Structure 1
């Protein structure tokens, strides 16, 4: 009874600032806090018209005048479907200026004057060229090609099948930007595809507890230092295959000496060449190689890049249609920039330079005089849109508001739609002329959280021991009073490719703002190893994951402790995946600083993680035994003093359940008490409505262990 009285008094002190207008976590997934948008906003191909849905009518507006050029009603779409009525206008995608694809109907509907009104498409397709009506289908664990050229008769993509042979899926654990298992050529005449042989990789069991007697399935999980799968690239000839109604294909004649990881597959615009960026097992060398599409033979190595730590090509080359040039993205000068090459592999010029990163290549105008891209110039916590004059090499910023901009360009690049956000702006959508900068506001979204009492969000920088500036975000409790003391909720991820501190609305997300409403100082810091700060900042962690990240996170902790409003005895941690690894590393290395901690899906020992990601940052366990030992959590479990709760998905196929189970076993041996919760039917995180359950578990844990 005494314990509950103490906790009640403590909570009343900390949460006296909280009123009833807090974020309703259950309502997050019912749409209560959706930010206003223009539904299905998109460009009509081969025009300067932008379109969106309003009141079940598709409006097409002229980009220059803003006048309505066409209205397409729900009843008109239903009429095209021979009277098959629709109750609402479905989500759509433009195929061309006269045809619309409706994914929920799996139909293409003509809005022009052509006789054919509706085309019903094949089911179960995983990739498609809708203009050429070419589909890659996955049925009964087989992959087929269906084309309008043979009335959609199925043809096996590749007959070279067998046990543990995979088609139609990503390879190399979806690293290097690989997000599909096949690539359709620009004119729809060829399909390049991956063939992955996993027979040499050990089986790993995934448990399903939903049957009366639990069952298991197996996945292939190549762990660091072990044997990896083998990948080939094939080329399927569409025209010859449909002519004889069987697969006509050949393999690209790749060589292991050029690199076994085959990435960034790209056809040339004329479909005569195929380009593959090879990465070796050590991941310190990349070869961009041209192959002949007809024969599969190697033509030449165009670009070679080497880095003593690692190379990581993630974007395909962009080819000019009107010349024999292409653009390649590289970090060779320490920052991700654009380089212009000719087809012989000769460097013509570096197109962008500076201590900032190109974040996306948006394409060329039809005359190929201007290149459009986004970058972190002038601020790494924002995103800005640029045009580049290819003759003068001069870049011009097209967006001037400080914050985060995401563009959607018209086909001819004359206009773009700018989605803009910053700390104070939920969403603004503007139409901007790419050449003269004239803009028109299309939407200024209201704050969907206006009925709640949000705390102030502040972004600041501190310095680490090396003098690097580290970006931090603090979300203060509502009605913050600097003369009071508050507990800290420190949320961490800290791994490569991540950036948590951004100049965007609700930058910390719903739950972190909710925790601030519960009376916490909510703190997040992007340490060395995270994205958009250049190669040196990101690659510094190589072979010693967690070490420099912890140094930087502790710089953040010491900053907090220097603030008079921080309660030093109540600093808590939360993180998932790499963030879970960081939570465990921090509480076992600096146990005196942290009172409570929650983490999910944590990496506990990098030798149990997969090859592609793990070896990039750690090399193999055989090459770096000291690095693997020193970064393992298991020898440090005995140091844990914080009140710890660990979550894991029972079907996690990214960070295997075995990681946290091994930690529990070590905790038993060391006599360390740990709370543990499994989500049996979730994979590598908790998705959907169950996430509210996770949030409430995290909140309850930290409240329970607040110290007086």
Structure 2
């Protein structure tokens, strides 16, 4: 009897120990923001070779060339452990190959400037003689780029455009009048870089004999001043930043001829207060194509300019009662080899689709159609007359890869799984990399043939999947919240692993909500916020996120309903959704909080004030608090100017709703934010103090809009967690 008791006890202990050893761990803030335990792997610096049969990548300091069909057939093109310059190791940060692949342009020691710009030291590695030489010894360079024939490199330094002949080694200044805060040649000013999503402002002609380039005259643009802390006397950093309604740069285009070593101006029009958001060469080296957009961004024209005399002519135009966003209209201009037609995108049907236009006649024909949106255009295969693109054709919260003939026939999905799929095609479209993930599946990168045959899997994030098994991770569940007008809003929730529908839970909502944006997407989370949420789930919270009206992938009417009233309908939708959640049996209606960053910070502070009886707590990180403080291009695209639409600027500014504040507010900002200036936080704080409203605030010295670097993110999320535990 006693023996049986001990034997039973032993089995129980063994079972208990086994169960404990198999128990999943809780996610900690250290896992998220110090160890970065859950980082997804991808392919670094992927480049297809010109023949389309190989690709290159940067892996552990080596530039490796792989055969598409035979993975064992690989070649190390450069190894930073072997190659030295004056005995010094060069750490490869990025690279590009010349057209003949005999030379490699290697970038290192980069210094970030703004979101898309940096300056670095560049080196030319000659694969034939194994020599490596500096591109220039006169200072770091920006946007260094091979000519199509691989014999020259152009770059920008100190606001001027330069040219290096790789055969002679001679360096020549194409422009000389560049000056900080006055004139920029070949690179964008701050607002173009931020809002038109490009920083390199020059293009080689197809025949390598010309360079078309931008010039920004920002002399009359007002300066914004940021103090940089850390020394005995703080330094002032002044840069040109056009706020809504203020003067923009005067932008011009020129073509430089390497033959006669002269630049000619391109005729961009008499109106100096306009935008040129895109410029590229057509299929011919005789013609430069550019887009002209008026300041209100509701009239877009595509023009062709002669590279010989600079004369230009309009070949296509579009108008809108609201605005024409360049990412949706004209962004994907692709010229056909016949030099008679071009492919472009437009929202004129009410949804973003692809069109083909005849240059001579102006005739435009739709290629894709339907009540769904094209998301990204990958290119056109001349041989098969096939277009490849990404779209939200099945659902606004998913993405698929498609192909279609130029005449609109044979519309087919070539990705296979529900979730989010994107692609990267080889130059001849015979192969492509398919990137797939879903809410439950980390990124997988597959190499496929144009027929869809799987060649091999390049990355499946096995390590991350194994790590996730050790942790108690809850995934996102998608659902819809019905509006009174019959529409539904897409949302997701994340619930604790031990969720009990009979309990009452506090809720933290996450919001962004800006025009054309999307947070509710069936893709594996890229942001570490997802793992931070796991730490909150472990403490008994439920997470919700809603894409309000004004967000993307649901057509023009849905997206542009917020025009001239940013923050009105979006805030109403977030408050309505919180009220909807409050009625759920397992939600504690007295403990609903909301947080957001940037546009989301604008939204969260507004929600706490305008929804004072709904929200108990809000965290507002790097918020816009008054659209008068934000840049011209973004703000006027949706609000027009303050001079035209003062009501739209003021009625939905949280600064003007401070008297309604009842709950707990945490306001966070970086003092070195070049994008959403610290001025926004100061203005809101001043208004709250005048209204005698108590709140908490925190600033991060010298940190930009991302508030990152070193221990910063760990500190920030620890503070936000403590604030929620105390106030929600």
Q: Same fold (TM over 0.5)?
A: yes
Alpha-carbon offset, residue 46 of structure 1: 0.7
Structure 1 segment 303-702 matched on structure 2, within 5 A? 303-314=316-327, 315-344=331-360, 346-367=362-383, 369-391=385-407, 393-438=409-454, 440-446=456-462, 447=465, 448-506=467-525, 509-689=530-710, 690-702=712-724
For structure 2, the residue ranges without an aligned partner over 5 or more in a row are 1-22, 109-120
Equivalent pair of 1:374/1:386 in contact (CA under 8 Å)? yes
Q: Deviations over 1:418-447 (max 9, x none)?
A: 111001211222222223545543443222
1: CA distance between counterparts of 2:92 and 2:240? 42
Alignment deviations for residues 674-702 of structure 1 (CA, whole Å, 9 cap, x no partner): 11111121122302331111111111111
Structure-1 residue corresponding to 2:153? 135
Equivalences for residues 202-217 of structure 1 within 5 A: 202-217=222-237
Query: How far is 1:120 from its partner?
Result: 4.5
Greater shift after overlay, 500-509 or 519-528? 500-509
Superposed displacement of residue 321, structure 1: 2.1
Change (3 A) 1:625 1:139: closer
Q: What whole-Å deviation, never above 9, does each CA across 1:366-420 have from its counterpart, x for those lacking one?
A: 5251111111111221221111222563221110100111212122111111111
Deviations 1:244-273 (A, max 9, x none): xxxx21221221449711111111122111
Shift of 1:108: 4.4
| CA shift digits 1:280-299 (9 cap, x unpaired) | 1122111111111121111x
**Equivalent-residue separation in structure 2 for 1:206 and 1:56 (angstroms):** 37
Tell me the residue number matched to 1:182.
202
C-alpha displacement of 1:121: 2.8
- Aligned counterparts, 1:105-144, within 5 A: 106-109=122-125, 114-115=128-129, 118=132, 120-122=134-136, 124-130=140-146, 131=148, 132-140=150-158, 142-144=160-162
Give the SS at the match of 2:562.
Answer: coil
- Output the TM-score relative to the length of structure 2: 0.86
- Structure 1 residues 404 and 122, CA gap change in structure 2 (3 angstroms): farther
Structure 1 residue 40 displacement after superposition: 5.5
Tell me the distance in 2 between the aligned counterparts of 1:82 and 1:537.
Answer: 56
Select 2:246's aligned residue among 211, 226, 239. 226
Q: CA deviation at 1:26?
A: 5.5
1:193-228, CA deviations, whole angstroms, 9 ceiling, x for partnerless residues? 222222222222211222223332322222222232
Seen in structure 2, the aligned counterparts of structure 1 residues 606 and 550 have a Cα distance that, compared at 3 Å, is same
Q: Are the structure 2 counterparts of residues 365 and 550 from structure 1 closer, same or farther at C-alpha, using a change threshold of 3 Å?
A: same
Q: Describe the superposition over 1:583-631 as per-residue Cα deviations: whole angstroms up to 9, x where unpaired.
A: 1211111101111111122112212222111111111122112222211
Q: Contact 1:577–1:603 at 8 Å: present in 2 too?
A: yes
Comparing 449-458 and 31-40, the one that deviates more:
31-40
Deviation string, structure 1 residues 139-174 (Cα, Å, up to 9, x no partner): 455443323265232314254768622234324443
1:79 deviates by 6.8
Q: What is the match of residue 200 of structure 1?
A: 220
Mark the CA change 1:90 to 1:547 in structure 2 (over 3 Å): closer, same or farther. closer
Q: Is the 8 A contact 2:227 2:672 kept in 1?
A: yes
Question: Using the alignment, how far apart are the partners of 2:234 and 2:211 within structure 1?
Answer: 41
Instruction: Give the Cα separation in 2 of the matches to 1:155 and 1:479.
Output: 66
Counterpart for residue 44 of structure 1: 49
Q: How far apart in 2 are the matches of 1:224 and 1:54? A: 44
Change in CA separation of 1:142 and 1:259 when aligned onto 2, cut-off 3 Å: closer
Deviates more, 1:474-483 or 1:449-458: 449-458
Deviation at 1:546, TM superposition (A): 0.8
Unaligned stretches of 5+ residues in structure 1: 1-17, 242-247
Structure 1 CA distance for aligned equivalents of residues 293 and 323 of structure 2: 10
Query: Helix, strand or coil: the match of 1:32?
Result: coil
1:103 aligns with 2:119: no
Instruction: Measure the CA separation in 1 of the matches of 2:353 and 2:222.
Output: 39
Distance 1:678 1:428, change over 3 A: same
Give the Å deviation of 1:93.
Answer: 4.2
The corresponding residue for 2:301 is 287
RMSD: 2.9
| Residues 206 and 216 in structure 1, CA contact (< 8 A), matched pair in contact too | yes
Separation in structure 1 between the aligned mates of residue 304 and residue 654 of structure 2, nearest angstrom: 44
In structure 2, C-alpha distance between the alignment counterparts of 1:681 and 1:54, rounded to whole Å? 33
1:50: Cα distance to partner?
A: 4.1
* Contact 1:26/1:692, CA 8 A, preserved across alignment: no
Q: 3-state SS of the aligned residue for 1:179?
A: coil
Give me the whole-angstrom Cα distance separating, in 1, the residues matched to 2:224 and 2:638: 23
- Evaluate the alpha carbon distance shift between residue 287 and residue 430 of structure 1 in structure 2; reply closer, same or farther with a 3 A threshold: same
Pairwise CA distance, 1:55: 8.1
**Given the two structures, how large is their TM-score scaled by the length of structure 1?**
0.89
Do 2:346 and 2:354's aligned partners in 1 also have CA atoms closer than 8 Å? Answer: yes
Q: Distance in 1 between matches of 2:63 and 2:255?
A: 39
8 Å Cα contact 1:258-1:279 kept in structure 2:
no
Which residue of structure 2 aligns with residue 4 of structure 1? none
SS at match of 1:135: strand
Distance 2:218 2:86 in 1: 49
Residues 552, 205 of structure 1: CA spacing in aligned structure 2 closer, same or farther, 3 A cutoff? Answer: same
- Alpha-carbon distance, 1:27 to partner: 5.3
What is the CA–CA distance in structure 2 between the aligned matches of 1:509 and 1:184, rounded to whole Å?
42
Comparing 136-145 with 354-363, greater Cα deviation is found at: 136-145
1:512 counterpart SS class: helix
Question: Relative to structure 1, is the Cα distance of residues 517 and 236 closer, same or farther in structure 2, using a 3 angstrom cutoff?
Answer: farther
Task: Give the total of aligned pairs.
Answer: 678
